[in-house]
Amino acid sequence: KAFLHHTVHLSCYFPNSQKIDVKNLVIFWQKDTNKVVHEVYYGQEKYEHLSREYINRTKVDMGKWTLQLLNAGVEDEGHYQCIIMQKVNERSTEVIHKSECSLHIIANYSQPKIEELHFGELKPNGYLNLSCSSSGGYPEPKEMTWLISHENITRSTTAHMDVSQDAETKLYNVTSKLNIPVPTKSRTNISCLLHLREQLGSLVSVPLGI
């Protein structure tokens, strides 16, 4: 997992127990079996086979057998392979090591914010119309719930969540609406909770007091 716009470290996990000289190795990282991310050819970095989106975005640390992928974006999500081949003779090489990993991008959602959609004063027999929004996150969240608390009792309600994805950034914006009778018994606090995926926990709004 890596945060959006941060640097990702993709390791080959190559022990090199035989202490083979880099000048006798071909090392390359590829994505989804068809895109070359970086190539080191007998000790020299080669650029002619690189996929366009990785040009000037990679740095290699041969001491640690690790590739740095700069400014990670949502489109970089996917399956990566590191392949190391050793020179057998002038005409042939053999694969001596392979490692794989999957990259997942994370972008932080904004703190959920509650807005009142009704106009004028609240009437005792009227309805409370609220929306809760959060933006700029990735991946798509699981759900949004509303917490309604009064006199030490909290009830939770899951409402429909409208999800939209920005065509350029691929980040998500989410909104949920709540429509309930105006609370009349005692002071009521209403919060909304955004549940994230990938074991990222949840985000809670500032409570609205009615």
Instruction: For residues 88 and 114, state if they share a domain.
Output: no
Domain edge (last residue) among 106, 134, 167: 106
pLDDT tens for 146-203 read 999 988 888 898 889 999 999 988 999 999 999 988 877 778 899 999 999 877 899 9
Instruction: For residues 135 and 52, state if they share a domain.
Output: no
Q: What is the CATH number of the domain that holds 102?
A: 2.60.40.10
Would you tell me how many other CB atoms lie within 10 Å of the CB of residue 21?
10
Residue 178: which domain range? 110-209
Instruction: For residues 92 and 57, state if they share a domain.
Output: yes
The mean of the pLDDT values for the chain is 90
| Pair 83, 28: CB distance under 8 Å | yes
**Going by C-beta distance under 8 Å and a sequence separation of 6 or more, which residues neighbour residue 90?**
none
Residue type, position 89, single letter: N
pLDDT tens for 61-100 read 888 889 999 999 999 999 999 999 998 887 888 999 999 9
Domain edge (last residue) among 84, 106, 128: 106
* Calculated CA dihedral for residues 203, 208, 209, 210, nearest 10 degrees: -130
Instruction: For residues 29 and 71, state if they share a domain.
Output: yes
| Pick from 58, 61, 60, 86: nearest CA to 72 | 58
